[in-house]
Amino acid sequence: MQASDNGFTEGWTLRDQAAEYSRLQQENFNHKMRIHFLEEQLIRLNNGDIIFGSEDLQVEVARLRSALEERDQLLAKQDEATNRATQAIETLQKQLVEAEQTQRSILVNSDANALRAELEMIVQTSSRQVRGLEVQLRSAKERTESMRKELQYAQDNNRRNVEIAEKTKTRDLQILQLQKSDNVKLREEVAHVMRMNESQDELVANLRATVDSLWQRKEQEAKEHTATLTRLYQEAVETKVIEEQCHSEWRASYALLEETRKNEVSERAAQRRSIGRHR
Domain containing residue 122: 14-227
Please indicate whether residue 75 or residue 213 has the higher confidence score (pLDDT): 213
> How do residues 125-142 score in pLDDT, each as one tens digit?
655 655 665 666 566 567
84 within some domain: yes
Residue 270 lies in a domain: no
Report the percent of the chain where pLDDT is more than 70: 37
As a whole-number percent, the residues of the chain with pLDDT over 90 amount to 0
| pLDDT tens digits, one per residue of 27-59 | 656 655 665 565 565 566 555 544 444 455 445
Residue 26, domain member (yes or no): yes
Position 104 in a domain: yes
Q: If you write DSSP's letter for every residue of the chain in order, what string do you get?
A: ---BTTBPPSS--HHHHHHHHHHHHHHHHHHHHHHHHHHHHHHHHH-TT----HHHHHHHHHHHHHHHHHHHHHHHHHHHHHHHHHHHHHHHHHHHHHHHHHHHHHHHH--HHHHHHHHHHHHHHHHHHHHHHHHHHHHHHHHHHHHHHHHHHHHHHHHHHHHTSPPPPHHHHHHHHHHHHHHHHHHHHHHHHHHHHHHHHHHHHHHHHHHHHHHHHHHHHHHHHHHHHHHHHHHHHHHHHHHHHHHHHHHHHHHHHHHHHHHHHHHHHHHHHHHHHH-
